[in-house]
Amino acid sequence: MYNKPCGEVTSIVSQDGHPTIFDSVERVMTAKEPRFSIKGFHSIGRLDCDTSGLLLLTNDTLLVHAATNPTAKVTLESKGGQFLYKKLEKEYIALSHGKLSIESLEKLREGIYLGAKLGVTGPSKIEVLKNNEKSTLVSVVLTEGKNRQIRRMFHAVKSGIIKLHRNRVGGINIGELQEGECRYLRSEEIIQGLNWPIRSITDTKSNRKRKSRNRSRRPPKRT
């Protein structure tokens, strides 16, 4: 898990001179573990350049697929039982322009139209934490991950985001992890917080290669 600062991009290649989260994570981790390599890791979802907070990285591509594909339905068998993956809640703290009206808050909670390409958002949990005439601080909880969704949602109700920070994904909270720092998740955090089993990626790849070799050894079909 990584506490991403603003100004970094969630991509492998730098864009417009901005540093990438992969370069930053590798730099932090190699200071602790000189043999660490970011190669093979993928981010579970993205945070745009101007958004800070919790970002999860993994070398389990099936988890990335399950978490980021809105139509994916993934069930896994493991020693711990059967895991049926459920879409994770993501909680953000957003500071928006102006004092949001009750009507605007209801629109955000019920779902709001973001244009022909993105359609209507699903229901969201919106809680006002603090407000005045100049700004409103809210907690936003959603399970979707449309492109720049929260910024677009607030723009649709004639507001705008001043600052956006993600502090939770599923049962994983950013806690006391400092900005720009990262750490490994504990096994129980992955199982309970992400509802995902601990898998040996090496064994999974070996099994795929073994099956591929077996298929190639089968005699050709005769007709």
pTM above 0.95, yes or no: no
Q: Which residues does residue 43 pair with via DSSP β-bridges, in sequence order?
A: 57
Strand ranges in the chain using DSSP code E only, listed in sequence order: 2-4, 42-43, 51-55, 57-58, 75-78, 81-84, 90-97, 125-131, 135-142, 161-169, 172-173
Evaluate whether 92 touches 53 at the Cβ level (below 8 Å).
yes
pLDDT at 201: 61
pLDDT (tens digit per residue) in 19-66: 999 999 999 999 999 999 999 999 999 999 999 999 999 999 999 999
pLDDT over 70, % of the chain: 88
Evaluate whether 122 touches 142 at the Cβ level (below 8 Å).
yes
Domains of the chain with CATH codes: 2-86+182-198 (3.30.70.580), 90-169 (3.30.70.1560)
| Cα(17)–Cα(30) distance, integer angstroms | 22
Question: What does the radius of gyration of the chain's CA atoms come to, in whole angstroms?
Answer: 21
Q: Is 126 helix (H, G, I), strand (E, B) or coil?
A: strand
Looking at per-residue pLDDT, the higher value among 75 and 91 belongs to: 91
